Structure 1
Amino acid sequence: MTNIPELKIGVVAVSRDCFPECLSVNRCKAVVNAYKEKYAEKNIYECPICIVESEIHMEQACIDIKKAGCNALVVYLGNFGPEIAETLLAEYFEGPKMFIAAAEESGKHLIQGRGDAYCGMLNASYNLKLRKIKAYIPEYPVGDAKECANMIHEFEPIARAVLGLNKLKIISFGPRPLNFMACNAPIQPLFDLGVEIEENSELDLYEAFQKHKEDQRIPELVKEMEEELGEGNKIPKILPRLAQYELTLKDWIEEHKGHCEFVTVAGKCWPAFQTQFGFVPCYVNSRLTAQGYPVSCEVDIYGALSEFIGMVVSEDAVTLLDINNSVPKDMYDAEIKDKFNYKIQDTFMGFHCGNTASSKLSFCEMKYQMIMARNLPQEVTQGTLEGDIIPGDITFFRLQSTADCRLRAYIAQGEVLPVATRSFGSIGVFAISEMGRFYRHVLIEGNYPHHGAVAFGHYGKNLFEVFKYIGIPVEEIGFNQAKGVRYPTENPFE
């Protein structure tokens, strides 16, 4: 996908001068080789300079990995390590960083071959805290070559997310719709994260749209849409206007990216959008999201931010859905109760008008927006991509600012069930273990809006580490507690 950071990880072995330097050198080579054998060779670079206790060596290593094009750092303690030099390296390196340590190889080599990196990691973490340096440390950061290679691979999505946020611009159009305070949140925390925001009027967007009326690229883009929709192309006459709108957004992104490298969009879609543009933008939103440019509905700025994080972590298309409606009891009894290990309170339906990428739908058709058409002529509500979301693992999550500018987040892993929705829009039957309690004691208690980002797969572990890395207190990261584990606000008396 486009619009995702390309990662190159610099691995620097560190050594304390009273320990054999060869331990760090040889162990680091083994880690890098193990990584190259299992993962992408081009993603990793081994610094030829082994830091001892010298800050001079630290400076040389920092220059070397930057010159090699590395934008993420792994500090590898092959032995006890020099706590000052190794943490200064992390301080001077501008990108995301990780600390890992070598396990001892054999009971036969515990005299001259003992490195004590298990001990050194404690001092490294203490010094990182003293210097107020953010660094990722795995759950168990000590391992052999293959284990450390796997740790580096697990660091990749976290590093991509951190890099992406530092060079991200969110482009928004218009304020939230009337009676839609739910997606209104302060923008100060965006700047605290290093994220830029460009806020525009719908009039600016409409003017740009009108200027694309005779764009010569429209016919070619219409053909591309026809191929994607196939038999689902039920409203072919609307495609030229949708193509015109897609070109408008793409050109706006390129012209307004500025100094940032990555972009996401928070778009307006009602109430006046339909009557003025003559369609709804859902299908275009789905296409841009599939191409790597997530577009949130209803000017949901933190929804767009959440989508971007999910896309970068999963390297796949994501979607933004309403946590929308309960599953009817007769439907649960007939199709879920005796087939899946979920209570009815564990289930709900995730829905949006038609913004989910076609690749994430079991089937799709171009339709009109039924809810809007209750008050408007049907022809101005055309442009939704409707279908049931593909069954499989998902992660439901959101990063959000409170009214007083504190960042918080939630994460819940679950699945989309292979159950026909019998409804409209981009929609699926979702199941998350203990969802009923999570709904009450995280979503409601935490005052979250109804929009949630969806990543297609289980990415809770990575997202949790991303949220920790960017500074969200762990007590502010909600998740679905297992049965028997009580939420702080949960009534202890059944």
Structure 2
Amino acid sequence: MNNIPEIKVGIVAVSRDCFPMTLSESRRQAVVASYKAKYGDIYECPVVVESEVHMQQALADVNANGCDALVVYLGNFGPETSETLLAKYFNGPVMFVAAAEETGSNLIDGRGDAYCGMLNASYNLKLRNIRAYIPEYPVGTADEVADMINEFMPIARTIVGLNNLKIISFGPRPQDFLACNAPIKQLYNLGVEIEENSELDLFEAFKNHEGDARIPEVVKSMEEELGTGNKKPEILPKLAQYELTLLDWVEAHRGSRKYVAIAGKCWPAFQTQFGCVPCYVNSRLTDRGIPVSCEVDIYGALSEFIGTVISQDTVTLLDINNTVPADMFDEDIKGKYNYTQKDTFMGFHCGNTAASKLSFCSMNFQRIMARTLPEEVTQGTLEGDIIPGDITFFRLQSTSDAKLRAYVAQGEVLPVATRSFGAIGVFAIPEMGRFYRHVLVEKNYPHHGAVAFGHFGKALYEVFKYLGVEAEEIDYNHPKALPYKTENPFA
């Protein structure tokens, strides 16, 4: 994947002037040694920050050495002003972490009081309206701090990525899909650029790619990927033409931005004019780290990009689509897995999930569209059951009145045959029925959710906090013992 950041993290130790600077310095060295042994490279700033002058020196040093993310390490109590100004002026994500005391035999000159200093640091960050990542329990030994820095890395990658992201969209949302429409103001607040285009512009670019000399090479790549699932070989040249159209558009329009996501149009006129559906192409770009959402779902594309950066893996965007029938639940799930029927549902989209995330796949026509259109113009979907395993269902969304809101729910795709069509899987999320009613319905979320393949709830939650989503607006699937605010206690 070449559409996600590779970042360099630096660490700066800070010291209060009435504490030994050498304490912070030696503790920093221990953290760096542990991190390098466990996880790889980290830049160790030689300047220990005790004053604003030191802060300027440290800032110049980490910038000169190409650091994209910064760890401010309280080896002792730390200087409140200088350490928080370092976070203010550093142009990237910042983490604050503190040293635990090392031994009961050295609690006089060897006591650092960073446990106390972290309280002052957090207070000063709030005073200055500075966002920083503070771990769940931010005080630890050298090994523990190294682990915390490693947990910071996907968060830092995501913040860097969003600050360099452009979302390219084509066409307005289709009629009756207003749920995917949301104000773009919050994109700018997040540091994301948006380029909205007419689907007529896209169609013109597509026509200009007729006979492109690269089409046979792309067709060959598709054939190799599909293998025996290549059931519609006649549509591949048109899909290859569309893929080249999108890739060339990205390169011509990324502008000053390093990373790109696309919110594409796929109906109602797309099929008749382009002569295919874009699902398979969307899946191929997403598999390369360039998420392409369906139905011009801009915040869906944003969510996919966040999931891609955090997981460093392919994601997908699915409808929270249909219930699992009672007979199917009884036959394939009940007694085999610890879920109720209301914990399960089917996640589906027409064919936008990458082949790498399907248990099997075949090129087919879009059955829903083919109910009202000639079948030949609806070809281009990639059908198959989604691979079983851990997943995280999530979404970052702007409300209609331009407030940020998010949800995160961890679960799994069950190894159960779906008996249906499209790119689809049987999903199970603990207490999904209650989550569906008191989060998805109650808070007016659209039907699209991003899916990361693995459990990434902890990192996603911290990213949403760092981005400024209020804690009460980050929802998750509550356990039975924890009711939702809107849940009827007598139900």
| TM-score of Structure 1 vs Structure 2, range by shorter chain | over 0.9
Are residues 1:293 and 2:313 paired? Answer: no
Are residues 1:93 and 2:90 paired? Answer: yes
Shift of 1:192: 1.1
CA separation in 2, counterparts of 1:399 and 1:119?
A: 34
Sequence identity (%): 74
Are residues 1:214 and 2:211 paired? Answer: yes
Alignment of 1:172-211 (within 5 A): 172-211=169-208
Shift of 1:343: 0.4
Shift of 1:241: 0.6
**2:3 alignment counterpart:** 3
Q: Does the residue aligned with 2:296 lie in a helix, a strand or coil?
A: coil
Alignment of 1:258-407 (within 5 A): 258-407=255-404
Any idea what the Cα deviations from partners look like across 1:159-184, whole Å, max 9, x if unmatched? 11111111110000000111111111
**1:145 alignment counterpart:** 142
CA separation in 2, counterparts of 1:230 and 1:404?
A: 47
Gaps of 5+ in 2: none
**1:45 alignment counterpart:** 43
Q: Does the residue aligned with 2:46 lie in a helix, a strand or coil?
A: coil
**2:31 alignment counterpart:** 31
Shift of 1:10: 1.1
Aligned letter for 2:279? Answer: C
Shift of 1:265: 0.1
Q: Does the residue aligned with 1:398 lie in a helix, a strand or coil?
A: strand
**1:155 alignment counterpart:** 152
Are residues 1:134 and 2:131 paired? Answer: yes
Any idea what the Cα deviations from partners look like across 1:202-260, whole Å, max 9, x if unmatched? 11001000111111111111111100000000111111110010000000000000011
Shift of 1:336: 0.4
CA separation in 1, counterparts of 2:366 and 2:312?
A: 30
Q: Does the residue aligned with 2:400 lie in a helix, a strand or coil?
A: coil
**2:230 alignment counterpart:** 233
Instruction: Tell me the TM-score normalised to structure 1 length.
Output: 0.99
Gaps of 5+ in 1: none
Aligned letter for 1:214? Answer: G
Shift of 1:40: 2.1
CA separation in 2, counterparts of 1:221 and 1:362?
A: 23
Number of residue equivalences:
491
Shift of 1:33: 0.9
Any idea what the Cα deviations from partners look like across 1:350-377, whole Å, max 9, x if unmatched? 0000000111000000000000001111
Out of 168, 171, 190, the position equivalent to 1:171 is: 168
CA separation in 1, counterparts of 2:342 and 2:424?
A: 18
Q: Does the residue aligned with 1:34 lie in a helix, a strand or coil?
A: helix
Instruction: Tell me the TM-score normalised to structure 2 length.
Output: 0.99
Q: Does the residue aligned with 1:395 lie in a helix, a strand or coil?
A: strand
Alignment of 1:105-144 (within 5 A): 105-144=102-141
Q: Does the residue aligned with 1:225 lie in a helix, a strand or coil?
A: helix
CA separation in 2, counterparts of 1:178 and 1:218?
A: 33
Out of 447, 450, 455, the position equivalent to 2:447 is: 450
**1:14 alignment counterpart:** 14
CA separation in 1, counterparts of 2:250 and 2:76?
A: 48
Q: Does the residue aligned with 2:97 lie in a helix, a strand or coil?
A: strand
Q: How big is the alpha-carbon RMSD for the aligned residues of Structure 1 and Structure 2? A: 0.6
Any idea what the Cα deviations from partners look like across 1:69-104, whole Å, max 9, x if unmatched? 001110000011111111111111010000000011
Aligned letter for 2:214? Answer: R
CA separation in 1, counterparts of 2:471 and 2:305?
A: 21
Aligned letter for 1:212? Answer: H
CA separation in 1, counterparts of 2:64 and 2:228?
A: 52
CA separation in 1, counterparts of 2:288 and 2:297?
A: 19
Q: Does the residue aligned with 2:245 lie in a helix, a strand or coil?
A: helix
Shift of 1:484: 1.6
